[in-house]
Structure 1
């Protein structure tokens, strides 16, 4: 198994700029990357702490505008070195995939989603960022 660490936690937001401002000015995180998903609809932003590269927060706008009053955490992501072998391993274990293929983002990072035992969304993520 090639899982190395918790990659990031994805939080759905209604207003990307407002959320970036909050997490940078109130929480003290820095914006590391921001782009439109390859689907042309969803906007993603990745934030982290200046002295700690191991923790990242992903803000997601456009996935679901009907956010509940609680439970805005969308998924947990784990870092992997070889996305293809992990994709094959999850399929061999007959774990339910959320998306049927590996997706490549504009920055070259690659990922796929699958379901945990209670239907929670889990992501394996191979990043192009150091």
Structure 2
């Protein structure tokens, strides 16, 4: 197992700009960047503490605006060095549901896949883009 750290927590939002303003002005996070997912619909905004380098907050716009408030936290992501090795390892486990049929690559080069925890919670193995 090669988890390095808790990568990010994804929160679904209705309005990216309004949410970025809230998390920067009210919470005090720093907006790192925003991008459109490769599907052309979902927008992703990433924020972190002023002394970034650890866990980030990912805002997800355009996924599903109908979830109740307690369903807004979409997933928990873990950083890994080799997402392909983790994909193969997780897929080989008998009682783990892998949500993706392949690894997704974002426009910035980051790669990820989703799988389910024991209660159906979304978990993500995430290999950050090369810096």
Displacement after TM superposition at 1:52 (Å)? 3.2
Displacement after TM superposition at 1:129 (Å)? 5.8
Gaps (5+ residues) in structure 1? none
CA RMSD of aligned residues (A): 1.1
Aligned counterpart, 2:76: 76
Task: Give me the whole-angstrom Cα distance separating, in 1, the residues matched to 2:128 and 2:88.
Answer: 18
Aligned counterpart, 1:25: 25
Structure 1 length-normalised TM: 0.96
Aligned counterpart, 1:113: 114
Task: Give me the whole-angstrom Cα distance separating, in 2, the residues matched to 1:109 and 1:52.
Answer: 18
- The answer to which structure has the higher strand fraction is 1
Task: Give me the whole-angstrom Cα distance separating, in 2, the residues matched to 1:4 and 1:119.
Answer: 23
Q: Deviations over 1:1-57 (max 9, x none)?
A: 111110000000001000000000001111112100000000000100121310200
Count of residue correspondences:
130
Question: Which ranges of 4 or more aligned residues in structure 1 deviate by more than 3 Å?
Answer: none
